[in-house]
Amino acid sequence: MKKQQLFYFLLVSLFIISCSKDEITHENEQSKEPTKQTVTAKNLKPIGSGVMMQAFYWDVPAGGTWWNVVKGKVADWSNAGIDAIWLPPASKAQNGPFSMGYDPFDYFDFGEYNQMGSIETRFGSTTELQSLINTAHTNNLSVIADIVLNHNSGGDSEYNPFKGTNTYTNYQPMSGMFNRTYYDFHPNDYHSNDEGVFGGFADLCHHKSYVQNWLWNNSNSVAKYYKNVVGFDGWRFDYVKGFAPWVVKDWKNAVGGFSVGEYWDGNAATLEWWANQAEVSAFDFACYYRMRDAFQGNNLNRLNDDMLWKRNASKAVTFVTNHDTDEIVNNKILAYAYILTHEGYPTIFYRDYEDWLNKERMNNLIWIHNNLASGNTSILYTDTDEYVARRNGYNGPGLVVYINNSNNWQERWVETNWSNTRIKDYTGHSNWEPVTQGGRWVKIQAPPKSYSVWSVK
């Protein structure tokens, strides 16, 4: 019995020594500090006061030019009413000069180390990224970093005792920051899995204190380096279904900044649950799918359905298209008229704004959002082809939006916020300037396959 106890004691001791060696290596690594200058104070528009621009699309041109392309547009975007730009994952990924960044390898290489087949990322160099961020800040815009925390890619093969075979979990990035081994991925000595894996990539274990320290706790963690050194102001968290909400909550509590998660689910109650658990905003996929049904499916009654912005507008980031999904093809401008007149924080997709839709009409809707769209929402009328809603105003007059998906001009009597008041259509689609009745009712109109937005003249 004593021999058996001694044998087990030796086995446990060897395991502890092995773990201790791993921790010693990690601690030595954590002593490294960033060498770049930290960012200075910024005078930024409050996020949510305007509109967010998703400043990329899938497969933007390779060749290291994208940061400069965006840099050349931020002044015009700011003048149009944009308050923040969302950038793609900025650090070096496994596919190097061809990667869109969602297969992260070295979180601290923004285009300065010769690894993964290139020095620059697909988007450009470290210097170009920081020049873009500085230019955005000069134009009072916040910069949102796309953060991929669920999975990593590009590690070397090593024997993994938790799988009994080799796995690609040996990460020795040239930045010398956040080296990783099989201890830091699933399965490991803590547990076998978490909420989800993605695409067969190495799945980070966020319960490991070493991983937490490198991602958000340490003074030179990914979160603090991105904020204090590179200059990012907020966070878009990729594939948050793959890990527990507390991960995003802890990150946000460690560094602050606007935070929104990509919880890809069309159920508004589920989105509300996740946003409350993480204590951050969520992309309103419920709104997206109801708009798809309404505008692509030609049934505006679907806009009556449940959405995150209707449950908690302060947590809802609305969108019509993003780099992953673009299902609202017909009548897309009507969908933008919807999100830019309703509650929630609206996002505009780069290609919709720069390439595909009428920029003058988009700028008009941004102006309407920033200047007229205040207060809670009352839906006044819906049928298959027509939708009318009122924003009831908060420190401002509010508005009435009339969306018409039919092939003919439509007119409708509606109850406004205003009594005996002349109103006008701020889109310019109608030249009517009616006066509301004493009981606040008035007849308004909207052109075919279009919209009008009415407020006090």
CATH 3.40.50.1700 for domain 51-150+196-371: no
Percent of the chain with pLDDT over 70: 91
| pLDDT single digits (tens) 199-244 | 999 999 999 999 999 999 999 999 999 999 999 999 999 999 999 9
Per-residue pLDDT, 407: 97
**Every domain of the chain and the residues it spans:** 51-150+196-371, 377-456
355 known member of a binding site: no
Question: Closest Cα partner for 397 from 438, 437, 453, 442?
Answer: 453
Question: What would the mean pLDDT of 91-106 be, rounded to a whole number?
Answer: 98
Pair type for strands 450-456 and 281-283 = unpaired
Per-residue pLDDT, 406: 98
Dihedral over alpha carbons 209, 211, 216, 220 (to 10 degrees) = 100
Q: Is the pTM of this model over 0.85?
A: yes
Question: What would the mean pLDDT of 397-402 be, rounded to a whole number?
Answer: 97
pLDDT above 60 (res 429): yes
pLDDT above 70 (res 295): yes
Q: How confident is the model at residue 395 (pLDDT cuts 50, 70, 90)?
A: confident
Per-residue pLDDT, 40: 56
How far is Cα 36 from Cα 128, in angstroms, rounded to an integer? Answer: 14
Catalytic residue chosen out of the listed positions 128, 233, 238, 352: 238
Higher pLDDT, 187 or 39: 187
**262 belongs to the catalytic site:** yes
pLDDT above 80 (res 144): yes
- What does the block give as tokens for 228? 């204090």
Question: What would the mean pLDDT of 414-425 be, rounded to a whole number?
Answer: 97
Question: What would the mean pLDDT of 167-187 be, rounded to a whole number?
Answer: 98
Percent of the chain with pLDDT over 90: 90
CATH superfamily of 377-456: Golgi alpha-mannosidase II (2.60.40.1180)
Catalytic residue chosen out of the listed positions 22, 112, 195, 262: 262
Question: What would the mean pLDDT of 161-172 be, rounded to a whole number?
Answer: 98
pLDDT above 90 (res 160): yes
Q: How confident is the model at residue 109 (pLDDT cuts 50, 70, 90)?
A: very high
pLDDT above 50 (res 126): yes
Per-residue pLDDT, 8: 39
Q: How confident is the model at residue 39 (pLDDT cuts 50, 70, 90)?
A: low
Per-residue pLDDT, 1: 38
Higher pLDDT, 37 or 357: 357
How far is Cα 357 from Cα 271, in angstroms, rounded to an integer? Answer: 29
Distances in whole angstroms, Cα of residue 158 to Cα of each of 162, 163, 183: 12, 11, 11
**29 belongs to the catalytic site:** no
Q: Is 296 left (phi over 0), alpha (psi -120 to 50) or beta?
A: alpha
Mean pLDDT of the chain: 93
150 known member of a binding site: yes
Per-residue pLDDT, 275: 98
Contact 334, 451 (CB under 8 A): yes
Whether the bond into 187 is cis, omega within 30 of 0: yes
Question: Closest Cα partner for 135 from 221, 71, 39?
Answer: 71
pLDDT above 50 (res 31): no
Per-residue pLDDT, 42: 79
Per-residue pLDDT, 26: 54
- What does the block give as tokens for 315? 């947590």
Question: What would the mean pLDDT of 150-167 be, rounded to a whole number?
Answer: 98
Higher pLDDT, 14 or 295: 295
Q: How confident is the model at residue 34 (pLDDT cuts 50, 70, 90)?
A: very low
pLDDT above 70 (res 394): yes
